[in-house]
Each structure stands twice: as structure tokens, then as C-alpha cells.
């Protein structure tokens, strides 16, 4: 029988790998979702001619988005799938799949032109412009003098 000297401060076998794995992950790995795209922030700016909606969605591409109008609702959604693989000599040493998506819906007022909605994506911001209908002003009441 041989004696083994015990050192309580020595890292356990594999502890270094556990620490590396823990600190090389994001919060989505622990809770099962990617927080960065679950619900993007939206700025809604009202102008006399339109409503401008700015969606903060960095890391996406123009083709990842879908903008639909259906039954008075504007729906903006995006889906992105990423695959990262590190292969050494035919075996996976690390393989990660990341699938993120979001969907936001807004009820459109009757005073907008739903057929003329336009969207552009530039520098991480999706801009959706919803033009307003021209408001027809009622004629002012005028008094007619009787001759």
C-alpha cells in the first residue's frame, strides 16, 4: 500500500477544462436561449408623414428578416442559424450550433398606407417606414349672407 499526499489547493483533474468551458460561454448556453436577439429594442418615431420604426438587430443580414402585413398587423421577424466547427484530424474537438429568432407584431392604425411600407437594413438597424394617409380636412364652416 502506498501513501498519497493530499493537497487541498491543487486543482482536481479536469478542473481547468471545466473553468475554461464555464467562462467561454454566454448566458444563452445556460438558459437555453440567446438573449441578444430574443426581443430587439424598437424605437418608434412619429412624424407628420409617417411612423419610423428602428429595430436594433446587429449581427444579422438583410436576408434574415421578414416584414409582413396581415389583417391590420405589421409583423417583423428574423431567423439566423450559425454553425461553428473546429475539426482536427477528422474528429470534432468542438462543434456548436446557434439558432436565434425573434418576432414582433404591431397593430397598425387605419390612418396608414399599408401598401406603401418600406424597410431597409444598414449597420445593425432595420428601419421600417410606415407612411400615413393624407388627412382630408373638413371645410371650414362659413356663413353665407342672404342678399
Here the CATH number for the domain that contains residue 125 is 2.60.40.790
Q: What is the pLDDT of residue 36?
A: 45
How does pLDDT run across 77-99, given as a tens digit for each residue? Answer: 998 887 776 666 666 566 667 77
In a domain, 16, yes or no: no
In a domain, 12, yes or no: no
In a domain, 3, yes or no: no
Compare 108 and 15 and report the one with higher pLDDT: 108
Lowest mean pLDDT among 7-11, 40-44, 70-74, 129-133: 7-11
In a domain, 65, yes or no: yes
In a domain, 76, yes or no: yes
Q: What is the pLDDT of residue 136?
A: 73
Q: What's the structural domain count of the chain?
A: 1
Mean pLDDT score across all residues of the chain: 77
Contact 126, 57 (CB under 8 A): yes
Query: Which range has the top average pLDDT, 3-7, 24-28, 38-42, 53-57?
Result: 53-57
CA distances to 17, 33, 83, 98, 137 from 95, rounded to whole Å, are: 16, 17, 8, 10, 63
Instruction: Give the residue numbers spanning the domain of 45.
Output: 36-131
Amino acid at each position: 500500500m502506498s501513501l498519497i499526499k493530499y493537497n487541498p489547493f491543487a486543482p482536481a483533474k479536469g478542473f481547468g477544462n471545466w473553468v475554461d468551458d464555464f467562462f467561454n460561454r454566454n448566458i444563452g448556453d445556460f438558459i437555453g436561449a440567446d438573449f441578444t436577439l430574443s426581443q430587439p429594442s424598437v424605437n418608434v418615431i412619429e412624424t407628420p408623414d409617417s411612423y419610423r420604426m428602428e429595430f436594433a438587430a446587429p449581427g444579422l443580414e438583410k436576408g434574415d428578416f421578414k416584414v409582413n402585413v396581415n389583417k391590420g398587423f405589421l409583423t417583423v421577424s428574423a431567423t439566423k442559424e450559425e454553425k461553428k466547427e473546429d475539426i482536427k484530424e477528422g474528429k470534432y474537438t468542438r462543434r456548436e450550433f446557434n439558432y436565434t429568432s425573434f418576432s414582433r407584431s404591431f397593430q397598425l392604425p387605419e390612418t396608414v398606407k399599408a401598401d406603401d411600407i418600406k424597410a431597409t437594413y444598414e449597420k445593425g438597424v432595420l428601419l421600417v417606414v410606415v407612411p400615413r394617409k393624407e388627412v382630408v380636412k373638413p371645410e371650414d364652416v362659413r356663413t353665407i349672407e342672404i342678399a
